[in-house]
Amino acid sequence: LAQLNTLAQKAGKLYFGTATDNPELSNTAYVAQLGNTSDFHQITAANSMKWDATEPSRGTFTFSGGDAIVAQAQAHKQLIRGHNCSRHIAVPLLDITKGRLSWDVINEPFNDDGTFRDSVFFTTTGTAYISTALRAARAADPAAKLYINDFNIEGTGAKSTAMANLVKQLKAENVPIDGIGVQTHLIVGQVPSTFQQNLQNFANLGVEVAITELDIRMTLPATTALLTQQMKDYQTVIAACKAVSGCVGVTLWDWTDKFSWVPGTFAGQGAACPWDENFVKKPAYQGIVNGWN
Ligand code: G3I
């Protein structure tokens, strides 16, 4: 039976995976599929390793949410993507998972026009926080792959150019940087025509590339025509990763529409995942299969 991780690994990739979140882990049917390692060999915590989760008030740390995700992954020997670092590197998690880990050390540093985002880090330190965080992460776990992760860098353009220039500069300054995470939150019918070229451009910088948060949303209701186009779009994305040897793996931003972030953020949109709200595979699943084949 053709399944998503099996096919990804056959295509020479390290993993196919998915994001998940702690409240979902109380759903037995959901957890059963999350642990299906023929589909998923990698897990990202959608929220529980973020700064607001690990230090909900200043000086008060809690890693229990992230630890639960790590335990879920370890029970099935799945890889972990740490998402995402900030001022405080989550050292307890790093200790547990040494050598089986990638981290989104820097998340969403850019505005869409390629200028730096006015985060608290940027307004306080300029770009210094980027090299500081990367060096701290390297020191905390020399084996972890360290990434910069962003959205709207799927096609060529100002934001992708800014990302490439940042990575070039970091490498020139010997700052540790191992990969570029291309989030890939797309809209049905709108996969950028330069997607594969852009992945290749990033890989040509001498770093890994990963598709870190894939989903492809539509305006509801989900018609047959939209679901068919979505299947093609998933296939296009996966085929691009397959074709670019530096693209090491793909992660869904959750696998089921039941727990997708999309409807909560974009009113009237959704159905972005390869499984529907009842955990039934959509045509998009076959699109991923086709993309790997
Ligand atoms: O858990 C509380 C719940 O108790 C409360 O009633 C409810 C009311 O607002 O909020 C719930 O928390 C929400 C949480 O998701 C869990 O669902 C937060 O408000 C909401 O802000 C949070 O959104 C997350 C978002 O990042 C912001 O951190 C999404 O789940 C998560 O999917 C999304 O993920 C991001 C990546 O980190 C970076 N790339 C883009 C991606 C999508 O925005």
The minimum-distance atom of ligand 1 relative to the CA of 261 is: 32
pLDDT per residue over 201-236, tens digit each? 999 999 999 999 999 999 999 999 999 999 999 999
Which protein residues are within 6 Å of ligand 1, measured from CB?
A: 46-47, 151, 183, 213, 261
Give distance in angstroms: CA of 261 to centre of ligand 1. 7
Confirm if 24 and 279 have CB atoms less than 8 A apart.
Answer: no
Give distance in angstroms: CA of 47 to centre of ligand 1. 7
Q: Which of 21, 26, 47, 107 gets mutated to test ligand 1 (max ligand atoms within 8 A of its CB)?
A: 47
What Å distances lie between residue 139 and 79, 86, 94, 136, 176, CA to CA? 20, 15, 11, 5, 10
Query: Per-residue pLDDT averaged across 160-188, rounded?
Result: 98
- Mean pLDDT value across the chain: 94
157's torsion region: left (phi>0), alpha (psi -120 to 50) or beta? left
> How high is the ipTM of this complex?
0.92
pLDDT per residue over 2-40, tens digit each? 899 999 999 999 999 999 999 999 999 999 999 999 999
The pLDDT value given to residue 100: 62
Query: Per-residue pLDDT averaged across 152-159, rounded?
Result: 98
The pLDDT value given to residue 88: 45
Active site residue 277: no
The pLDDT value given to residue 85: 83
pLDDT per residue over 55-100, tens digit each? 999 999 999 999 999 999 999 999 999 999 855 444 445 555 555 6
pTM of this prediction exceeds 0.90? yes
**For the chain, percent of residues with pLDDT exceeding 90:** 92
The residues, any chain, with a CB within 8 Å of residue 71's CB and separated by 6 or more, are: none
The pLDDT value given to residue 43: 97
d(CA 90, CA 8): 29
Query: Per-residue pLDDT averaged across 122-130, rounded?
Result: 94
Residue nearest to atom 24 of ligand 1 (CA): 47
The residues, any chain, with a CB within 8 Å of residue 56's CB and separated by 6 or more, are: 62
Count CB atoms within 10 A of the CB of residue 289: 21
d(CA 18, CA 45): 9
Q: Which of 55, 173, 213, 277 is catalytic?
A: 213
Query: Per-residue pLDDT averaged across 168-183, rounded?
Result: 98
The pLDDT value given to residue 89: 46
Residue nearest to atom 15 of ligand 1 (CA): 47
Residue 45 has pLDDT above 60, yes or no: yes
Residue nearest to atom 12 of ligand 1 (CA): 47
Residue where the block lists tokens 């599929």: 33
- Phi/psi of residue 243, each to 5°? -75, -20
Active site residue 108: yes
129's torsion region: left (phi>0), alpha (psi -120 to 50) or beta? alpha
